Structure 1
Amino acid sequence: MSGGAAEGIHPGATIHASAIIEPGARIGAGASIGPFSVIGADVTLGERVVVKSHGVITGLTRIGADTVIFPFAIIGEIPQDLKFAGEATRLEIGARCRIREHVTMNTGTDGGGGVTRVGDDCLFMAGSHVAHDAQVGNRVIMVNNSALAGHCVVGDDVIIGGLSGVHQWVRIGEGAIIGAVTMVTHDVIPHALVQGPRGELDGLNLVGLKRKGVSRADITALRAAFQMLKQGEGAFVDRARRLQHDTDSDYVRKIVDFILVDSDRGFLTPS
């Protein structure tokens, strides 16, 4: 750790003697950097961020307050994209996230907007991966060895099960749950339950809705909306348009709005 690096380190931060802090890194008050960790020159760590032993934080990466990064996570490395040519892109991670062992998160690409974003209060279990240009909401949980491909958009309160993969450009609506060992190749409507080796839209995430305290009236409206999407006349998008005029539920409107936005991948539809 050189004197140049020390200029960006708050005096209240704790740095292990074996850690490598490159000149230019900025480390906030109360942060803790463990043994044999590496913090790159363009990294900014917020207040009370903890990097445990052997963590690598590199690239143009900003991490919010109270986030904890566990051993052998590699955060902010370049994208796994052959089109990437070394352009300056970044990774932004919110506050109070838990990033467990061997997690990898990459910076963005010019072709995808230049930034990978992760919200607040997320949990990334061991071995999970967030690829370039992904946009991840708040309170998202990625279970062990699950992976998001490039350009994915994940809403708030989503759970992605262990060993599951999400295809590039896929959107997952808020409150959805993806079962374990599932490949998701099309957009997932909000509050959906997806499971099976080739992900199938199998119902609503009723457990998640009840835990969130959603009213009985809204859950009833969501059940009715799902049945209309499943069995109504016309194409999936046409069914959603009819719902637009037949509901007073904000939860159903969110599903309708999600479907009526242009989709790069199409939608998982009820079997």
Structure 2
Amino acid sequence: MSNIHPSALIEEGAQIDPSVVIGPFCLVGPEVVLKAGVELKSHVVVKGRTEVGEDTVIFSFAVIGEIPQDLKFKGEASRLVIGKRNRIREHVTMNCGTEGGGGLTKIGDDGLFMAGCHIAHDAILGNRVIVVNSAAVAGHCILEDDVIIGGLAGIHQFVRIGQGAIIGAVTMVTNDVIPYGLVQAPRGELDGLNLVGLKRRGVARADITALRAAFQMLAQGDGTFHDRARRLGEETESDYVRQIVDFVQADTGRHFLTPK
């Protein structure tokens, strides 16, 4: 194929759409699937049972689909599935899943993964996620749609981050983050709502007002955090607030970052 550089190594068995562009010195493993419009810049490694969705671009020196960095991994079959139109920049690493985590690492559509960031085994990421330079998402994490992870941030294993939340740079997050939350400080603190993100998405003023009132109730109401969330669910008419309530009431293996 004329759009595959002669120095690239494509192992037998790889499924490559005719429209795929593969630059010099790339390595594509035998169980890899590259769909229409995918482009690999130079020196990209794609291994394992990895599927890369349409029009995704992977930049130089990224290593995609390698085995997990998990001592419990014993070579069991597992996968990495990457959605459409992602931009995966230089030196990014994304690992396949493990048997203990369901065997799947999954990346949604339209994400931006900046230079040097890491997505670990069994992480599940939604659509339009941005992970900034040198941030790390540990194993078994769930990042919902429209989440932004700041540079040099670290997300602890099994943490869930709700839709539209933003994590500041150089922040360690060890507990779940409610949808639309704003987290900052070295040992991540829930410091408000991602109001800028809400406004940019065109969320109605009435819903933003409802979210701000809900945040105050979660911060200052009587009872435990879960008690306050339950009462909030009984009173709210906002779908956005209901999303927070449902997130808090869902099963989780971790505690929540709570408002200060």
The bucket for the TM-score relative to the shorter chain is: over 0.9
Deviation of the 1:262 alpha carbon: 2.0
Which residue of 45, 70, 84 maps to 2:59?
A: 70
TM-score (norm 1): 0.95
Deviation of the 1:34 alpha carbon: 0.3
Partner of residue 247, structure 1: 236
Letter in 2 for 1:154: L
- In structure 2, the residue corresponding to 1:248 is in which secondary structure? coil
Does residue 173 of structure 2 align to residue 184 of structure 1? yes
Q: Within 5 Å, which residues of 2 pair with 1:115-264?
A: 115-264=104-253
Deviation of the 1:82 alpha carbon: 0.2
Does residue 257 of structure 2 align to residue 268 of structure 1? yes
Deviation of the 1:239 alpha carbon: 0.1
Letter in 1 for 2:59: F
Distance 2:149 2:15 in 1: 32
Instruction: Provide the aligned length of Structure 1 versus Structure 2.
Output: 260
Distance 2:55 2:18 in 1: 11
Partner of residue 7, structure 1: none
Does residue 45 of structure 2 align to residue 56 of structure 1? yes
Deviation of the 1:24 alpha carbon: 0.2
- In structure 1, the residue corresponding to 2:235 is in which secondary structure? coil
- Residue by residue over 1:194-223, the C-alpha shift from the partner in whole angstroms, topping out at 9 and shown as x without a partner, is 000000000000000000000000000000
Deviation of the 1:29 alpha carbon: 2.8
- Residue by residue over 1:98-125, the C-alpha shift from the partner in whole angstroms, topping out at 9 and shown as x without a partner, is 0000000000000000000000000000
Letter in 2 for 1:181: V
Which residue of 82, 95, 98 maps to 2:71?
A: 82
Where has structure 1 moved over 2 Å in runs of 4 or more?
none
Q: Within 5 Å, which residues of 2 pair with 1:89-128?
A: 89-128=78-117
Distance 1:244 1:15 in 2: 55
Letter in 1 for 2:112: L
Distance 1:163 1:210 in 2: 26
Long gaps (5+) in structure 1: 1-10
TM-score (norm 2): 0.99
- Residue by residue over 1:10-30, the C-alpha shift from the partner in whole angstroms, topping out at 9 and shown as x without a partner, is x6x711000000000011131
- In structure 1, the residue corresponding to 2:218 is in which secondary structure? helix
Deviation of the 1:48 alpha carbon: 0.8
Distance 2:236 2:97 in 1: 39
- In structure 2, the residue corresponding to 1:245 is in which secondary structure? helix
- In structure 1, the residue corresponding to 2:216 is in which secondary structure? helix
- Residue by residue over 1:225-256, the C-alpha shift from the partner in whole angstroms, topping out at 9 and shown as x without a partner, is 00000000000000000001111100000000
Long gaps (5+) in structure 2: none
Deviation of the 1:268 alpha carbon: 0.1
Distance 1:140 1:130 in 2: 12
